[in-house]
Each structure stands twice: as C-alpha cells, then as structure tokens.
C-alpha cells in the first residue's frame, strides 16, 4: 500500500515518495509555537496532526527526522517583554516549558530537534548575506534588510505558489516590517529588522548593524540547517500559508541552495482551522481554551487528543465540550472491551491481525484519513464485544487483538489507560489481590482508600468495605469486583 497526501503546492493528492534515494529517510519540519503565551487548542490541532503523520510514517517503516522550531524572538514577544519588563529569555522559557508539558500531556512524541531562533543567528545572517549577494535582498535607509519581490519574480521565480494571488489588484513595491500581513500587499518583507528604541535589549550584532531577524527567515535558516536545502514535508496550520510559508519558499529558493530541479519543500501539508462551539475562537466570546483550561474542567489529555484526532486534518473541525464528553464515553467503550479481551488473553500479546492492520492502513494511506481509520476501529470493537458476549473469543484471537491494538495505538498515541499504554493491564498488588486500574493513574489518596478497602474485605469487615467503596465513588472512582480481582475505574 502507498501513502498519498494532499500537497498544498500542487493542490492535488499525490503519492508520497521521499527525496532519499533509498526511499526510507524522511525529513519533517513543523512550524512550532511562538512562546509569548500559553498555546491554545487550535495550535494543538496542528501539533497533533504533525504527531499523527510522524507516527504513521514510522508505522510504515520510514526513518523520520522530525524538527519543530521554537520561535523565541518575534513581534509579539518583543511587545510582551516591553510590557512586562521581564527579560526575553526568562519570559519565553516560562511558556516554552508550559508547551513541552502540554505536548507530554497530549502524548505527543518529542521532536528529534527543537531549534530556537535565537540560537541560530549566525545561520540567519549567513542566509541573508546569500540573498544580498544574489541581488534578492537589499538594505534600506534605516539599516533593515528586505527581500525584493520584484527581483525574485524578474529572475524567473514565482511568488504565489501556495496561494493564488491577484497581482493586478495588489500594491507592489511596498515594504512590510511586521511579521504578518494580508494578501492585499505584494510587499517586500523584512529579513533583518534594525534595532528600534522599543526593542530594548532584544538585539544582535550583524553586518547591517544592531537588530533582530524577521520571523520568516528564522524558519528557512533552521530548517535547512537541520534537514538540508531540500525537505520532504513542511507542516503547519492553514493560517501560515500566507505570508509565512510563501515567504519561506521565496527566500529559501531565492538563495539557490537546492540542487538544480529540486524544490525547497517537496510536500506542503496544512491543517484546517478549528472552531470552538461553532465559532472562531475568541477570548471575548468566552470560547478560548488552553489545554490547561480543559484539564481544569476535569478532562484529560488523552480525551482532548482523541477529539482533535477524530476529524480529517484538512476539515474545519468544531470543538465542543459536549464532544469531549463523548470522547470520554468512546474511551470507556474501548477500555472496557480491551480489558475483557485482556482477561481472556491472560495478559499475553500475540501477533497483530494482518487483515485488521490492512484495513486501518488503507484508511490512513488516503491522505491520513483518520476518520475512516476510526470507523475501522469501532467496527472491530463491536465485533470483539459480540464474540466476548457469545464466549467465542479464543485465547489466540484475544492475544492477536491485544497485538493489533498495540500496533494501531502506536499511530493514534492515545495512551488512554494503563492497558492501552502497555501490553497488558497494570497490576497493583494490594493485600495480595490484583487490582486492575482502568483510566488515569489514581492519586495517592485514592490508592490509600483502595488499600484500606482491600484490608477490610480481607478482614471480612464488609460494612467498612462498602463505606470505603462509597467514599471512592464520591471522589469520582468506581470499584468493580470481578473474578480476576477488583477493577478501579475513573468516572
């Protein structure tokens, strides 16, 4: 089976063929966070899409080098540093640490490299020098360096590869010093911004005087430094298509660092916008959520991950609290089924089912169609539940089911329960009785109550045991006594 993906560059679905002559090594660059604040769930839809793609490429046997940058100097950061009077490095480190915690909460694989813009100033300066030498950039009277759209287009390049631009209605010849601008301006954009009084201590020395890099040049310099002048896959949200990614192409290909006939990026992939409760996310509307906001409402990272991975990455997705509640119910269906399968398998994991994996792979090969993949999974869960109810699930089939889930979950990365995170249910020995823990790891207080209940049952103090069961229920935990021992589940 062959993976096919929608390439924003060609606006078509294409077979994925790596640049690597051996067909195995794949380089992915994903535009990472600008660490000026806590990332919101719209940001995380893009990062989860990136994580899903990486996991699926590895599932298919590719050797992936995954790079995600950290933008730690940019217009928004400069403003926050000025307003808070906190040194730039101290300010950005706080939000970078929060971002990394969020990635872990969402069970995202850590990128192999996470370069910081401020640590690659020499590479940025070198790339700007190359553009000046080729006549693609020039220094303005204030000391800033701008990329020349006119020189780029008259040299045989095309500006507007990722988006259709109406050049006749645009305002050519303007300069834009801000990092973001609209499609109405066919403007020369800043590669190096001369130091201004409001920049404070945020500046570096350069051949053009003190200043700082523009946002667009940072990604070009870092991506080509770590992945080479030609990259297989470049990912981001659709809001980055213009101007950020379009400008990346212009400055990267304008420097002519690629071999003849090779592009800066072979495949561009973009995730669609996220709506929240049917509207564009906005603090004024009260529908602006960070991951921390959702955790404070009682939801878990895996539940958020599941919901954000339910829809195809190119479909606008409506994120709702009701949807998160539905995600919790879906988890319970999967967990309950697999826990019962595990009891039949007695914790043994067998080879995965080739037919089930083939159906799952066929779904994701179609431009990473995770929606179709979930349809395959839930049809499989229904089949397993039917066999469990009939008592017709054999030891071998149950062991194959666990092996199948382990392979599928290596792509989905749910980590929803101890059962899903490992090959078998976690077993805690409490008074000699195995207790299967279903759901998130219980707090110490809950485990202590559980131990007390086990001790009461052992002493045949069933009144005390029942009282402890009700206390656990009041704290959101349910105990189910099974033939295999007590089962603890988070409600």
pLDDT in tens, 4-14: 999 999 999 99
Same domain, 9 and 157: yes
Q: Tell whether 319 is covered by a domain.
A: no
Residue 469: its pLDDT value, please? Answer: 85
pTM of structure: 0.85
Backbone phi, then psi, for 451, in 5-degree steps?
-65, -40
Q: Tell whether 161 is covered by a domain.
A: yes
Residue 108: its pLDDT value, please? Answer: 95
- How confident is residue 366, by pLDDT bands cut at 50, 70 and 90? very high
Same domain, 103 and 250: yes
Separation CA 467–CA 77 (nearest Å):
54
Q: pLDDT: is 429 or 29 the higher one?
A: 29
pLDDT tops 60 at residue 439: no
pLDDT tops 90 at residue 106: yes
Q: Which of 23-27, 32-36, 73-77, 439-443 has the lowest mean pLDDT?
A: 439-443
Q: Tell whether 78 is covered by a domain.
A: yes
Q: Tell whether 311 is covered by a domain.
A: no
Q: What is the pLDDT of residues 20-52, one digit of tens each?
A: 999 999 999 999 999 999 999 999 999 999 999
Same domain, 22 and 56: yes
Q: Tell whether 300 is covered by a domain.
A: no
Q: Tell whether 129 is covered by a domain.
A: yes
pLDDT tops 60 at residue 246: yes
Residue 21: its pLDDT value, please? Answer: 94
- Read off the CATH number of the domain in which 338 is found: 1.20.120.640
Q: What is the pLDDT of residues 296-329, one digit of tens each?
A: 998 889 899 999 999 999 999 999 999 999 988 8
* Percent of the residues in the chain that have a pLDDT greater than 90, as a whole number: 71
Same domain, 71 and 163: yes
Q: What is the pLDDT of residues 161-216, one digit of tens each?
A: 999 887 766 666 678 888 777 655 678 999 999 999 999 999 999 999 999 999 99
Separation CA 41–CA 38 (nearest Å):
10
Residue 434: its pLDDT value, please? Answer: 45
Of 276, 306, 323, the position where a domain reaches its end is 276
Residue located via tokens 């954000």: 308
Q: What is the pLDDT of residues 331-347, one digit of tens each?
A: 888 888 988 998 899 87
- Structural domain boundaries, residue 113: 4-276
Same domain, 399 and 459: no
pLDDT tops 90 at residue 422: no
pLDDT tops 50 at residue 433: no
- Read off the CATH number of the domain in which 198 is found: 3.40.50.620
Same domain, 90 and 30: yes
Q: Tell whether 301 is covered by a domain.
A: no
Of 256, 276, 296, the position where a domain reaches its end is 276
Residue 220: its pLDDT value, please? Answer: 98
Q: Which of 226, 184, 200, 232 is nearest to 26 (CA)?
A: 232
Residue 48: its pLDDT value, please? Answer: 97
Two tokens at 333? 């269906």
pLDDT tops 60 at residue 120: yes
Residue 421: its pLDDT value, please? Answer: 41
Find the mean pLDDT for residues 436-462.
73
Residues 6+ apart with CB under 8 A from 2: 15, 16, 365
Same domain, 396 and 445: no
Residue 460: its pLDDT value, please? Answer: 79
Same domain, 387 and 241: no
Same domain, 123 and 29: yes
Same domain, 201 and 348: no
Separation CA 57–CA 60 (nearest Å):
5
Same domain, 134 and 253: yes
Of 244, 276, 308, the position where a domain reaches its end is 276
On whether the CB atoms of residues 488 and 477 are closer than 8 A, the answer is yes
Same domain, 391 and 433: no
Q: Which of 316, 320, 314 is nearest to 273 (CA)?
A: 316
Find the mean pLDDT for residues 151-168.
89
Q: What total number of domains does the chain contain?
A: 3
On whether the CB atoms of residues 248 and 237 are closer than 8 A, the answer is no
Q: Tell whether 281 is covered by a domain.
A: no
Residue 60: its pLDDT value, please? Answer: 97
Q: What angle do CA 440, 441, 443 make, to 5 degrees?
A: 120
pLDDT tops 70 at residue 483: no
């Amino acid at each position: 089976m062959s993976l096919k993906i929608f390439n924003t560059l060609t606006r078509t679905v294409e077979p994925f063929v790596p640049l690597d002559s051996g067909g195995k090594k794949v380089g992915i660059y994903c535009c990472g966070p600008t660490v000026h604040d806590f990332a919101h769930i719209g940001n995380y839809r893009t990062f989860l899409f990136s994580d899903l793609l990486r996991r699926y490429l590895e599932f298919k046997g590719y050797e992936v080098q995954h790079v995600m940058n950290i933008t730690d100097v940019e217009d928004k950061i400069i403003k926050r540093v000025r307003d808070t009077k906190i040194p730039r490095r101290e300010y950005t480190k706080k939000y970078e640490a929060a971002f990394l915690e969020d990635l872990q909460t969402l069970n995202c694989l850590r990128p192999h490299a996470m370069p910081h813009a401020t640590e690659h100033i020499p590479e940025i300066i070198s790339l700007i020098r190359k553009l000046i030498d080729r006549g693609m950039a020039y220094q303005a009277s204030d000391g800033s360096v701008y990329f020349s759209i006119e020189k780029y287009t008259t040299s045989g390049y095309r500006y507007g590869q990722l988006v259709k631009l109406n050049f006749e209605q645009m305002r050519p010849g303007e300069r834009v010093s801000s990092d973001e601008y609209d499609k109405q301006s066919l403007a020369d954009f800043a590669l190096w911004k001369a130091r201004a009084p409001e920049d404070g201590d945020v500046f570096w020395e350069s051949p053009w005087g003190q200043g700082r890099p523009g946002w667009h040049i940072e990604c070009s310099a870092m991506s080509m430094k770590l992945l080479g002048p030609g990259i297989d896959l470049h990912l981001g949200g659709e809001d980055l298509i213009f101007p950020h990614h379009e400008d990346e192409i212009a400055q990267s290909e304008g420097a002519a660092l690629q071999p003849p006939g090779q592009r800066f990026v072979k495949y561009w992939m973009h995730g669609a916008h996220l709506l929240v409760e049917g509207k564009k996310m906005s603090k004024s509307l009260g529908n602006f959520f960070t991951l921390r906001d959702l955790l404070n409402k009682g939801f878990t990272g895996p539940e958020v991950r599941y919901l954000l991975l339910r829809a195809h990455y190119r479909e606008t997705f409506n994120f709702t609290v009701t949807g998160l509640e539905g995600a919790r119910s879906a988890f319970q269906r999967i967990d309950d089924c697999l826990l019962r399968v595990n009891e039949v398998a007695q914790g043994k994991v067998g080879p995965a089912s080739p037919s089930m994996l083939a159906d799952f792979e066929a779904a994701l090969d179609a431009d990473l169609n995770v929606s179709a993949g979930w349809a395959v999974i839930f049809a499989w869960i229904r089949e397993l539940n039917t066999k469990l109810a009939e008592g017709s699930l054999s030891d071998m089939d149950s062991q194959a089911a666990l092996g199948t889930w382990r392979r599928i979950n290596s792509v989905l990365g749910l980590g929803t329960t101890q059962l899903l995170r490992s090959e078998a249910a976690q077993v805690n020995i409490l008074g000699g009785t195995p207790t299967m823990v279903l759901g998130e790891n219980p707090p110490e207080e809950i485990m202590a109550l559980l131990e007390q209940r086990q001790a009461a049952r052992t002493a045949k103090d069933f009144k005390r045991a029942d009282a402890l069961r009700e206390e656990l229920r009041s704290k959101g935990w349910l105990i189910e006594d099974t033939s295999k021992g007590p089962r603890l589940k988070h409600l």
